[in-house]
Structure 1
């Protein structure tokens, strides 16, 4: 049995425009790393780098710690484990930072213990960690793709029922992170408690169209379906320059453009890497027009999810 395990868990884009709380996909970069080792201290101990001192090292208050503790309890494991977390995803970025740490911890501990559970069996433990960052709410649209890879549809958060949706080989994602921070609680508070039936019908149609477009490699259908009438009209108010950024992406050939998770990151899906790099450039430039620095990422849909370095 290994005495040390080093894993990488990728950033994710949740909601994917029309799939509020039900859809997400994994990127290749950025991501979090965790090094798990056996410890002489019982339970879970944590050290962190790259978080600028923002995250707690008390396991019960840390998403990675909660996930690891839940897994140890399930397995009846009494040996102590130390988790060294290397944060590569900025906190509050809308790229699944808290979910990524929870997934990485559950995956690393499972590997360290000889892989007693399958990858999909780790989902509830990662969700337990993610829940403390989202006020107790359980949403698998970040955790699912981070753990499993690919494009993930969450049929039921309550039942942890997820489905991987195949994606076209030439589908590329752009994620642009502006130098802003939006709290998930703030982004949720701005949403309506109820939505009109006509909006619900539009959203259902778009989500169905997106799934069909992905499965059929129908880029035009994917583009027509990447429309959010539930969250984007409200959350976009929290992102200065959003409309300019979105219009620049669409004018440059993006299939669609919307908010990644709760924001402030903005994502676009594109056909081909050439278009994706052009879209990334104009989105970054559009933020700059509003005096906002940003970081861009161009990625295929990461089909591997969380993986072990060694």
Structure 2
């Protein structure tokens, strides 16, 4: 597919921008690859600087061994695609402070990809649409997982909750961001997205598919109607979770204990190992956090927890200079 080249005057552009690129929860239990939700915490901090030559430079400010070859980097690959549609000799230097651990299941690769394209677009005067930015950022997900998918990318760029009706062509629907609290536990083990995809069944029973379609429709309807009980009833996955949960120690105990503590429901965040739960108030969300901590302290696995809310804005510019 061909796209119209963007003509810009480098002399008029901003020179540097800093953004917060937030974590995300993909799938939302039943919506494998089609639903995603943006979080207020954690987030990466990214600085993108405009260069006067056509190249991309990656600088890491933390201890993660991330590729510096732009084509192999989840932030660099999307910018390579962006530059192909810009009729100017420019490039970008990206400095990344990753506070979302790679392999956490809360959208680390998506944060890098989305943060890079939103920041670059801001420097260029926002010449690309959000849909364009998702299209570019999916090249970062392809680097990370081997597959283009937008269930983390779309909410990271649009904010709130997004439904990806189609990837080819892109059709993204922004849904109302519910006034829920989100509790996340990240057991300090790694589940690679590519590995978590490989163990999935390639075919499903019709009765399971019907139940899953009902849950996805119920979840979307619950969000639109602001019906917390319907959202809770719809947070059920009969296809993906039964397979992937075996990779996450303590999963069943966490889910059962959190629902007993008052959570609406939840499940695996993305491909795991993080687990998320939705609650209608902060007090319940903190009780849910206690349940999560107790499970992993008993098992003897280190963990991080977050009690946060849904981020309605997505990637946010926090500083810019000419």
Q: Whole-Å Cα distance in 2 between the matches of residues 280 and 120 of structure 1?
A: 35
Q: Whole-Å Cα distance in 1 between the matches of residues 132 and 195 of structure 2?
A: 31
Give the CA deviation at 1:80: 2.8
Count, aligned residues? 307
Give the CA deviation at 1:299: 1.6
Q: Whole-Å Cα distance in 2 between the matches of residues 48 and 101 of structure 1?
A: 11
Alignment partner, residue 44 of structure 1: 56
Q: Whole-Å Cα distance in 1 between the matches of residues 53 and 99 of structure 2?
A: 27
Give the CA deviation at 1:40: 5.4
1:276 equivalent in alignment to 2:285: yes
Q: Which of residues 213, 221, 226 is equivalent to 2:235? A: 226
Contact 2:23 / 2:106 at 8 angstroms: preserved in 1?
Answer: yes
Alignment partner, residue 76 of structure 1: 87
The 5 Å alignment of 1:41-120 reads 42-50=54-62, 52-120=63-131
Paired residue secondary structure (1:27): strand
Residues 168-223 of structure 1, C-alpha deviation per residue, up to 9 Å, x if partnerless?
A: 32x11111101110111211111111000010001000000111111111111111
Unaligned runs of 5+ in 1: none
The 5 Å alignment of 1:58-207 reads 58-135=69-146, 137-169=147-179, 171-207=180-216
- Moved >6 Å (runs of 4+): none
1:208 equivalent in alignment to 2:220: no
Alignment partner, residue 317 of structure 2: 308
Q: Which of residues 29, 32, 35 is equivalent to 2:47? A: 35
Q: Whole-Å Cα distance in 1 between the matches of residues 254 and 87 of structure 2?
A: 50
Unaligned runs of 5+ in 2: 1-12
Paired residue secondary structure (2:152): helix
Contact 2:142 / 2:148 at 8 angstroms: preserved in 1?
Answer: yes
Contact 1:120 / 1:148 at 8 angstroms: preserved in 2?
Answer: no
Q: Whole-Å Cα distance in 2 between the matches of residues 183 and 241 of structure 1?
A: 18
Give the CA deviation at 1:285: 1.4
Q: Which of residues 300, 303, 320 is equivalent to 1:294? A: 303
Q: Whole-Å Cα distance in 2 between the matches of residues 99 and 202 of structure 1?
A: 29
Q: Whole-Å Cα distance in 2 between the matches of residues 77 and 65 of structure 1?
A: 18
Give the CA deviation at 1:49: 1.7
